[in-house]
Amino acid sequence: NVDLEAANITITRTDDFTPKGRARKTGLSKTRTVPLTSDAVEMLRSMPRSHTYKNVFLRDGKPIDKGAEKNLRYWLQKTAKAAGIVGMTRLHELRHTCGQQIYDLTGDIYVVKEVLGHSDLETTLRYVGKPTRRAEEAIKKLEGFGTK
């Protein structure tokens, strides 16, 4: 369900789709609400009103089926290579990139956890594993601490 007024997408279990995350207590798929940037909302608003598919992502005007993942992966690899981005080989890496960028901008691991929909902070920590500019700046501030 895409709600452009609230700027989010809600992903729920249906007969033909199950989100990966599982609720700890029930073992059932979690409902996730994913916030959208204003650019994403603008792009979705610009889609033709005649769009009748329940799918948002289309190829040649038709829903992308599960078999098309290889085509999406190929497109991602080709685009990343052209942009000089090394190691971008899976669509899921975009999720890691998003998590890292949110962390770099906010320095708040709990915001990243919420946006990515993780129930466990340990999972989120795997997404922001590399040292960040903020961490490096904090360490530099410790230089000489306690020696004066």
Q: What is the pLDDT of residue 65?
A: 60
Q: How far apart are CA 121 and CA 100, in angstroms?
A: 14
**146 in the Ramachandran plot: left (φ > 0), alpha (ψ -120 to 50) or beta?**
left
In this structure, what token pair is assigned to residue 12? 């729920």
Task: Give the Cα-Cα-Cα angle 20, 22, 63 (nearest 5 degrees).
Answer: 30
> What DSSP designation does 90 have?
S
pLDDT in tens, 19-38: 555 555 555 667 788 889 99
In this structure, what token pair is assigned to residue 103? 């962390």
Report the predicted TM-score, pTM, of the whole model to 2 decimal places.
Answer: 0.61
Q: What is the pLDDT of residue 136?
A: 78
Average pLDDT, the chain: 77
Q: How far apart are CA 140 and CA 148, in angstroms?
A: 16
The packing angle between helices 109-116 and 92-106, to 10°, is 150
**Torsion angle (degrees, nearest 10) of CA 137, 140, 145, 148:** -120
What number is the average pLDDT over the span 63-85?
75
